[in-house]
Chains A and B, each alone.
Chain A
Amino acid sequence: MPVSQSGQPPLLRLRGLYSPRLSPVSLDLATGECAAVMGPSGAGKSLLLRQVADLDPGSGEVELNGLARSAMKGFEWRRQVMYCQAEAGWWEDRVAPHFADRAKAAAVMARLGLAEDKLDALVNELSTGERQRLGLVRALALAPRVLLLDEPTAALDQAATGRVEEELRRYLDTGAAILMVTHSEEQARRLARRAWRMEQGRLEPLWT
């Protein structure tokens, strides 16, 4: 297991995390690191992310900075280890109420190529790609320590994908980590230092 050079605990450590449809997974993510999970649809990639975020019942332990998940409340954990659904859900009709800090949201949106007036739009007026980016903005605005991204650029064109990846690098530089599911080998190569392949609930190393 890779241990960060300073001897500190890894930012995120999975220790034998499993559920009925997921074989035990152990892995470490260092500060500033991005790792990718690839594999066919239905292999359990999203299940792994949901398992890390503690959104589904399962077994095993996860640690953030050496602090055990089981010692925190569920929502405290999810506040720091944040899962971004592939198709984000919205709980208000308009976009703005989903953001606590409008100025902060607008700043990230500008970098992702979204005009600020999108905040005043209705959620169902937006395109899939806009909703996907806004879902990411929503999470980034809360500044979690770890982001669990489920195909963050699936609905985006090349230009928008580039902007998102740039924003993710910027986020990594703040001392965070990303575990992402992607179908794009190129994207994994551009962002991640390591990659795994998920096949029928089993995680196999792909490259480092």
Chain B
Amino acid sequence: MDVIKLQALDLAVASLLVVLSAGISFALRLNMQRQVLWAAARTVVQLLLVGHILRIVFAHAAPWLTALVVAVMMALAAREVASRPKARLVGRGNGWVGATAVAATTIITVLFILNTALRPDPWYDPRYTIALIGIVLGSVLNAASLALDGMLSGVRREKLAIEARLALGAPARLAFSSLLRESVRRGIVPSINQMSAAGIITLPGIMTGQIIAGMDPIDAAKYQILLMFLLCGASGMAAIGAAYGAMRRLTDERGRLRLDKLMP
């Protein structure tokens, strides 16, 4: 393909834009020049590192290596889901809820796509698997952490309402239904916005990348549509998974509301 290869010098020239940004911060005394430079340095190191790792993984195309990379990516995403909400469940509950929601939804959606729309050979071809999972994880992470935060920050506020329904004999799922719905909605809204804004306001990253890589814009659009559907399904499942996971941890086997399982 006729891609223009970037040289180190090209990047150095582009980095002048970062310097410009830092300069603005300095001139306006925003005191953010250090943050800008540090973030830029992180971008360089992290992306080059990932690039090198992926090059090795792609070259070997070994299932175990692919699985290892996938596991690390998921673990990092789960940690992020767990740490974003301010409220914490006892017994590393945030971590468990995050890990379950992230792993289950990512694996289900990616396996679904790898066995239907895309059929790489071998099916675990890291070029597809890791790229797909990377994209899906971003959305899943967002949806799950928003839904989890909705549950954990809302349950104290809704305590009287939830207990009123429990006291009237409602099963926990019914007593939590308003809070569950609200939390899942919070988790799904970003992916809906993303879908409805796609192409008009911004060109999605994947599509841009493939157009630059020389793909026909219509083909690139098809890829992007597939991914948007994937992300929509994944974030829906992740939001539901995280919200129900949180509900399970906030209730017990007798269907009681257990606010003592939320750290003060």
- Name A residues whose Cβ lies closer than 8 Å to a Cβ of B: 53-57, 73-76, 78-80, 82-85, 87-92, 135, 138-139, 142, 144
Contacts and interface: CB of A to CB of B under 8 A. Distances in A.
Interface stretch (B76-84, B109-117, B123-131, B157-165): B157-165
Given A85-B163, A91-B161, 14 more contacts: A54-B254, A55-B257, A76-B169, A78-B168, A78-B169, A79-B169, A83-B167, A85-B164, A87-B160, A89-B159, A89-B160, A89-B161, A89-B165, A91-B178
Nearest to B164: A89
Q: In which size bucket is the chain B interface? A: 20 to 34
Contacts of B164: 85, 88-91, 135
11 contacts: A56-B256, A73-B255, A74-B254, A75-B166, A76-B169, A78-B167, A89-B162, A91-B165, A135-B164, A142-B169, A144-B169
B168 A142 contact: yes
A75 B167 contact: no
A100 to B, nearest CB: 10
A84 B166 contact: no
Contacts of A79: 168-169
Give the dominant DSSP class at A's interface. Answer: loop
Interface in B143-202: 158-172, 178
A83 B158 CA distance: 18
A55 B160 CA distance: 12
Contacts of B219: none
Contacts of A83: 167
Contact of A75 (B161, B162, B169, B258): B169
Contacts of A84: 167
| Interface-centre pick from B167, B168, B253 (highest chain A CB count, 10 A) | B167
A189 B115 CA distance: 74
A79 B175 CA distance: 13
B216 interface: no
Interface in B216-258: 252-258
B9 to A, nearest CB: 63
A175 B116 CA distance: 62
Given A55-B163, A89-B161, A91-B161, A139 B255 contact: no
Contact of B256 (A74, A88, A90, A139): A74
Given A54-B256, A55-B256, A73-B255, A139 B168 contact: yes
Contacts of B161: 89-91
A142 to B, nearest CB: 6
A78 B159 CA distance: 17
A81 B182 CA distance: 30
Contacts of B158: 91
A84 B167 CA distance: 7
B248 to A, nearest CB: 14
Nearest to A75: B171
A53 B166 CA distance: 10
Interface string B81-119: 000000000000000000000000000000000000000
Contacts of A135: 164
Given A53-B167, A55-B167, A83-B167, A75 B160 contact: no
B255 A74 contact: yes
Contacts of B165: 89, 91
Contacts of B256: 54-57, 74
A82 B252 contact: no
A55 B171 CA distance: 12
Contacts of A75: 166, 169-172, 255
Contacts of B254: 54, 57, 73-74
A133 B168 CA distance: 15
A55 B257 CA distance: 7
